[in-house]
Amino acid sequence: MSADYTLLLQTIRQWVSVSEREEPILSDLFERRYVPANDFFLREGEVCRYVGFVVEGLLRYYVLDDGIEHTYDFSPERNFTCNYESFLTQTPSTRFIQAIEDTTLLIISYDNLQQLYARLGEGQKFGRLVAEELFVGMLQKLTSFYRETAEERYDTFMRSFPQLQERVPQYVIASYVGIKPQSLSRIRAQRAGKQY
Amino acid sequence: MSADYTLLLQTIRQWVSVSEREEPILSDLFERRYVPANDFFLREGEVCRYVGFVVEGLLRYYVLDDGIEHTYDFSPERNFTCNYESFLTQTPSTRFIQAIEDTTLLIISYDNLQQLYARLGEGQKFGRLVAEELFVGMLQKLTSFYRETAEERYDTFMRSFPQLQERVPQYVIASYVGIKPQSLSRIRAQRAGKQY
């Protein structure tokens, strides 16, 4: 089993147990995909046909509203990525998922994911736990997105993604906070003394 | 098996199969609860410790924002009810779930629900499918709540709950639409010609 699949297996095993005998199911059902920096894993208007597992790299999620990008989430390595709403309903996405860095993924199609749920002893449990975590995470993201001030959003970014501060371009951080890039330095200066 | 449990079983079987041998598991794990009209299934600040299945009656969900009630959902008979976010994380609820009519429920505790997932052959699958549907439904509700005009919200109510128009008090419909009760008749008149 290659290092990519070992990483995927380790991650799934944080949720449920996978026996040694079940390990080959993963390489049966996932395939490798490479997305160069600035290219898209998913565009607005496309149906999200795959769930991706980020082996290496970094993706961001954003919506385009009157020509303005609003970044609302990131998926670094060892995380799953997809527009879960578009994926579950197999309807066109209203969001973009874009690579910020050259990104290598293991991807699984909708049909193969149903197979994964059925073939792994704890596959359905894995699906339940992921769906539950995504439900809670999405509510927290939406509450932050709609209700927080720019200063609070900046704090949310620093607290949620402490390891990404050096990897995310300034204009993307600004689009997460909901301000113009030139306003970011003001908030940065103001927050400089704060511990995260 | 009483009529209440037969209704619950029918509803679960719309999602997954439950064998005859498994039927007693339901009466082991669920218990009966009665909530008179205007009383609460869940209050803001309380942890949601139960998922309820509505056998008879009607509940509404609302948030209180600066003293104003914003109704955002309803659970009539044959539907499950809970604040899923509070339930999953076992943290205090930011919402209210109130009975609009005298309501009879079968309720299941957090621990018993984990048992249900484990003891039913398709229990984990049931949990996954419910979590997935709640995820999609919650996104649609939030998008409607934050983005629609009063007219669109009224249409959403009529389309989403056609069978509840006579059962929901006017002030609750107004709090769903996001307007004062006295403004509701204007929208009603305007929409009167529209087919739902």
Same-domain status, A119 and A154: no
Say how far residue A80 (Cα) sits from the centre of its chain: 6
Note the Cα A23 to chain centre separation in Å. 24
- Tens of pLDDT, residue by residue over B43-82, are 999 999 999 999 999 999 999 988 999 999 999 999 999 9
**Smallest Cα–Cα separation from B116: which of B78, B80, B74, B91?**
B80
For residues A12 and A86, membership in a common domain is answered with yes
CB-CB neighbors (< 8 A) of A124 in chain B: 122, 124-125, 127-128
In angstroms, the separation between the Cα of residue A172 and the nearest Cα of chain B is: 23
Q: Quick one: A121 and A163 in the same domain?
A: no
- Domain membership of residue A140 (yes or no) is no
pLDDT at A195: 59
Going by pLDDT thresholds of 50, 70 and 90, the confidence category of residue B12 is: very high
Same domain as A41, residue A83: yes
Q: First vs last Cα of chain A: how many Å apart?
A: 38
Residues of chain A neighbouring B134 (CB-CB closer than 8 A)? 135
Same domain? For A71 and A120 the reply is yes
Secondary structure class of B182 (helix, strand, coil): helix
CB neighbour list of residue B136: distance below 8 Å, 6 or more residues apart = A85, A88, A89
Q: Is residue A170 domain-shared with residue A75, that is, in the same domain? A: no
- Residue ranges making up the domain that contains A48: 3-128
| Same domain membership, residue A107 and residue A16 | yes
pLDDT per residue as tens digits for the range B98-125: 999 999 999 999 999 999 999 999 999 9
Residue A139 · residue B138 · CB < 8 Å? yes
Q: Which of A84, A89, A128 sits opposite B128 (nearest CB)?
A: A128
Angle at A61 between CA A163 and CA B82, to 5 degrees: 95
Report d(CA B125, CA A131) in Å as an integer.
Answer: 11
B14: in domain: yes
Residue B133 lies in a domain: no
Do A131 and B131 meet the contact criterion of CB atoms below 8 Å apart? yes
Residues A171 and A101 in one domain: no
Residues A73 and A117 in one domain: yes
The closest CB to that of B124, out of A89, A124, A139, belongs to A124
Q: Which residue has the tokens 């197979």?
A: A115
The pLDDT tens digits for A142-162 are 888 888 999 999 999 999 999
Q: What tens digit of pLDDT does each residue of A59-74 get? A: 999 999 889 999 999 9
Give SS3 for B97.
strand
Same domain, A116 and A155: no
Q: Is residue A139 in some structural domain?
A: no
Give the closest-approach CA distance of A166 to chain B in angstroms: 31
A93 CB neighbours in chain B (<8 A) are none
- CATH number for B60: 2.60.120.10
Q: What is the pTM of this model?
A: 0.91
- List pLDDT tens digits, range A80-133: 999 999 999 999 999 999 999 999 999 999 999 999 999 999 999 999 999 999
| Same domain, residue pair A162 and A113 | no
**DSSP H or E segment with residue B172:** helix B170-177
pLDDT at B195: 59
Q: For tokens 């030139």, what's the residue?
A: A182
Count the domains in chain A: 2
CA distance B11 to B33: 18
Q: Which two tokens stand for residue A190?
A: 């103001």
B153 domain residue, yes or no: no
Q: Under a CB-based contact definition with an 8 Å cutoff, are residues B5 and B24 in contact?
A: no
Count Cβ–Cβ pairs < 8 Å, chain A vs chain B.
55
Element (H, E) at B12: helix B3-13
pLDDT at B192 over 80: no
Sheet holding A80-81, edge to edge: A31-35, A103-109, A50-56, A80-81
Task: Looking at the structure, tell me whether residues A100 and A10 fall in a common domain.
Answer: yes
In a domain, A136, yes or no: no
Residue A160 belongs to some domain of the structure: yes
Tokens at residue A152, please? 């609070």
Interface of B with A (CB under 8 A): 84-85, 88-89, 117, 122, 124-125, 127-128, 131-132, 134-136, 138-139, 142, 146
Strand, helix or coil for residue B1: coil
Residue B168 belongs to some domain of the structure: no
**Any idea which of A52-56, A141-145, B20-24, B91-95 has the lowest mean pLDDT?**
A141-145
